[in-house]
């Protein structure tokens, strides 16, 4: 497992190397997507930080706090943190990057807050910042991955990359 900030730095680095500008929220959503798909496909968490259901969408506080006051998120990139990411996980993150990077911040937010998402299920219980547990996240992404193959082109970046056989318990 990684610190969520490590994964966020990886996506910011991809942004710089691809010459594709991303927002703080896009970096955060990418971490959320990566964590969810990793839970669904590998069966284990990618990050040890928990997502929270804030009023306007899911948040990973460590990422949110680190980047939220920065005008240029690329300027505070931590290369050393990214060096700990294993090659297998880099391949996984690269596939996710290729799939989601063309979405706008609003489109990513919609994927995180639509009816039935982990945020939607938790946030409806309170207006406070409640934890979104990994079990709920895993269930959501496994349902997208296994039960709805018709959504493969929308929500499943990995069936087309040959990674679908790696679903864990």
Residue 9 φ then ψ, to 5°: -60, -40
Query: Residue-wise pLDDT tens for the chain (169 aa)?
Result: 999 999 999 999 999 999 999 998 999 999 999 999 999 888 899 999 999 999 889 999 999 999 888 777 877 777 888 899 999 999 999 999 998 999 999 999 999 999 999 999 898 766 566 899 999 999 999 888 776 554 444 444 555 444 444 433 3
- How far is 53 from 159, CA to CA, in rounded Å? 28
- Cβ-Cβ contacts under 8 Å for 107 (sequence gap 6 or more): none
Q: Is 17 exposed, middle or buried (0-12, 13-18, 19+ CB in 10 A)?
A: exposed
């Amino acid at each position: 497992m990684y610190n969520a900030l490590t994964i966020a730095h990886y996506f910011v680095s991809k942004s710089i190397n691809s010459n594709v500008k991303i927002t703080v929220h896009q970096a955060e959503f990418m971490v959320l997507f990566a964590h969810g798909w990793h839970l669904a496909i590998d069966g284990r968490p990618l990050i040890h930080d928990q997502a929270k259901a804030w009023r306007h969408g899911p948040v990973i506080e460590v990422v949110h706090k680190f980047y939220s006051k920065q005008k240029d998120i690329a300027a505070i990139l931590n290369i050393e943190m990214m060096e700990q990411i294993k090659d297998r996980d880099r391949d996984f993150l690269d596939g996710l990057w290729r799939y989601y990077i063309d979405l706008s911040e609003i489109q990513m937010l919609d994927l995180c807050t639509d009816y039935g998402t982990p945020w939607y299920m938790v946030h409806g219980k309170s207006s406070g910042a409640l934890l979104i547990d990994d079990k709920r996240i895993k269930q959501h992404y496994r349902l997208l991955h296994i039960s709805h193959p018709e959504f493969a082109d929308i929500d499943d970046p990995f069936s087309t990359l040959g990674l679908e056989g790696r679903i864990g318990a």
